Amino acid sequence: MSCTCLVSFLQTRMKSMEIKLYNTLSKKKEVFKPIKAGQVSMYNCGPTVYDTPHIGNYRTFVMNDLLRRMLEYFDYKVDQVMNVTDVDDKTIKKSREQNVPLKTVTEKYEKLFLAGLKSLNILTPHHLIKATDCIQDMIGLVQLLIEKDFAYKTSDGIYMSIDKVKDYGKLAGLKAQSTKDEKTHASYHEPKSRVANDEYDKEDPRDFALWKLKTPEDGDNSWQSPFGEGRPGWHIECSAMAITELGDTIDIHTGGSDLIFPHHTNEIAQSESATGKKFANYWIHGGFMTIKEEKMSKSKGNIIKLEDLAERSLTPLAYRYWLLMAHYRSPVHFSFDALEAALNALNRLKNTMNDYPRGGTVINSYKERFGAYISDDLDMPKALALVWELLKDDTQSPADKRATILDFDRVFGLNLGIEDKSSKVPFEIQALVLEREKARAAKDWSKADKLRVEIENGGYEVKDTSNGVQVRAKL
Ligand code: AMP
Ligand code: ZN
């Protein structure tokens, strides 16, 4: 086969590569089949803008980004929608505590969120939608649910009647029995079986609020509706935004695993009851990030933000690299030591890439393996390991290695082609090299050897050439 033929054969093969994704709904890996050939509609639950996002939140946003980049790598046209929750229990509580308008709170944290996306090289979703811009869509959906008799009115709002939803709880694997059990104890129209809060426990599925009638605590944050002045519940927000932007049935819906219940469970109940159609074909959930085995949460005081990393000179892209080392569904435990190791690895990788000559071509055998890994439920740890394997492969030219890794970086998103001053030889290593030079000039060979070991332990190697000493990151 001629060279051009081989390239086009490989491109066709990459395009037709079977993508497998783990679907929380079926609890197994499935072959991905989009509704429209070559196109993907994807809805990501976005941030609740009441505080600076923590690195756990960004783990999920990086997962969304990797998913989009992987699909685009295989030439799918992705339509990515992410919401910004700028009205809910938490945002209103914060504006009340700080005694400022809701928008003052939400606009501040939305800006920080967007800056975080940029620093992590996360592609901006095609549509970033604020809940407060879609209130009429939410009202319309609630109205439809009332008309279809899935919702009822109480003294404090409109509630979704979960016993009317045939397969309520299917995503979270709730036993149908649990709702029935409750029904034998109390009618759903009694207060015990309803919940007005946006968040509650999986062990306690109940009728939930679609529309919350105005209370004094809500301040100015209410809207007129046919069922009284009030505000939407958190779950109806996402259903309405997803359906309005992407249609009744979407290809992929994502979020962190904490959203499986109640949020995504309730989104399915509302959406499928209203439209009579399947809401999302693939439900993708990211594993949680913990710190010292605990859930990262404000109440535990163990929140870590991007600025905490910056204080220790740990870059957002080092964090992104560290995330690539674990499968997106695995829970990960954060530690600063692990992140430092990731930063060193990323710097070594970038330095090596910078040293390699430009103008090579992508190595097909490696590209094929890369495609096989990323299409297998986004196996980024294997894809990353492949990079290091390639770097050590003496049968490939440095220029081709560079071209191949830059091709992979369309998915990694590590900006490997951009020379980064901060990834140059660190100051401490430069100091050791200088000291070694002095030791060599003084013919103190044992000191020079000790310093070489120290430099190597720091991840660098020195070479004494006729042009002087050369320092580079170790592979
Ligand atoms: P929130 O701003 O709380 O609405 O969360 C935004 C996204 O971050 C959601 O998809 C959550 O599931 C996700 N998330 C929250 N905490 C973590 C965590 N510790 N690890 C991974 N994802 C998280
Ligand atoms: Zn959502």
- According to the 3-state scheme, what is the secondary structure of 60-121? HHHHHHHHHHHHHHCCCEEEEEEEEECCCHHHHHHHHHHCCCHHHHHHHHHHHHHHHHHHCC
- Ligand nearest the Cα atom of residue 285: 1
- Cβ of 59 closer than 6 Å to ligand 1, yes or no, is yes
- Ligand nearest the Cα atom of residue 264: 2
Could you say which of 3.40.50.300, 3.90.1150.10, 1.10.287.130, 1.20.120.1910 is the CATH number of the domain covering 314-322+335-422?
A: 1.20.120.1910
Instruction: Measure 334 CA to ligand 1 centroid, in angstroms.
Output: 15
pLDDT along the chain (475 residues), means of 10: 58 76 98 98 98 97 98 98 97 97 98 96 98 98 98 96 95 69 41 80 89 96 97 98 98 98 98 98 96 76 91 94 98 95 95 94 98 98 98 98 98 90 66 84 91 88 74 75
- Cβ of 256 closer than 6 Å to ligand 1, yes or no, is yes
Instruction: Measure 349 CA to ligand 1 centroid, in angstroms.
Output: 30
- Cβ of 258 closer than 6 Å to ligand 1, yes or no, is yes
256 CA closest ligand 1 atom index: 12
257 CA closest ligand 1 atom index: 12
- Cβ of 360 closer than 6 Å to ligand 1, yes or no, is no
258 CA closest ligand 1 atom index: 12
Which pLDDT score, from 0 to 100, does residue 3 have?
55
- Cβ of 212 closer than 6 Å to ligand 1, yes or no, is no
Instruction: Measure 55 CA to ligand 1 centroid, in angstroms.
Output: 9
Beta carbons within 10 angstroms of residue 152's beta carbon: 18
Which pLDDT score, from 0 to 100, does residue 190 have?
44
Which pLDDT score, from 0 to 100, does residue 424 have?
63
- Amino acid present at 371: G
Instruction: Measure 379 CA to ligand 1 centroid, in angstroms.
Output: 21
> Can you tell me whether residue 411 is helix, strand or coil?
helix
- Cβ of 371 closer than 6 Å to ligand 1, yes or no, is no
- Cβ of 287 closer than 6 Å to ligand 1, yes or no, is no
Q: Transcribe 331-366 into DSSP letters.
A: -EEE-HHHHHHHHHHHHHHHHHHHHSPS-----HHH
Instruction: Measure 417 CA to ligand 1 centroid, in angstroms.
Output: 30
Of the residues 42, 258, 290, 295, which should be mutated to test ligand 1's pocket, given the most ligand atoms within 8 Å of the CB? 258
- Cβ of 116 closer than 6 Å to ligand 1, yes or no, is no
- Ligand nearest the Cα atom of residue 296: 1
Which pLDDT score, from 0 to 100, does residue 388 have?
98
Which pLDDT score, from 0 to 100, does residue 474 have?
76
Instruction: Measure 52 CA to ligand 2 centroid, in angstroms.
Output: 18
Which pLDDT score, from 0 to 100, does residue 186 have?
37
Residue 198 in contact with residue 88, Cβ under 8 Å? yes
117, 286, 470 from 63: Cα distances, Å: 12, 7, 38
- What is the rounded distance in angstroms from the CA atom of residue 287 to the CA atom of residue 276? 30
Instruction: Measure 64 CA to ligand 1 centroid, in angstroms.
Output: 12
- Cβ of 57 closer than 6 Å to ligand 1, yes or no, is yes
Q: What is the CATH number of domain 32-291?
A: 3.40.50.620
- Ligand nearest the Cα atom of residue 270: 2
- Cβ of 45 closer than 6 Å to ligand 1, yes or no, is yes
265, 289, 453 from 258: Cα distances, Å: 11, 11, 46
50 CA closest ligand 1 atom index: 2
Tokens 């986004």 found at: 378
Strand partners, 285: 255
- Cβ of 60 closer than 6 Å to ligand 1, yes or no, is yes
Of the residues 42, 49, 55, 57, which should be mutated to test ligand 1's pocket, given the most ligand atoms within 8 Å of the CB? 57
Which pLDDT score, from 0 to 100, does residue 15 have?
64
- Cβ of 253 closer than 6 Å to ligand 1, yes or no, is no
296 CA closest ligand 1 atom index: 19
- Amino acid present at 357: P
Instruction: Measure 89 CA to ligand 1 centroid, in angstroms.
Output: 16
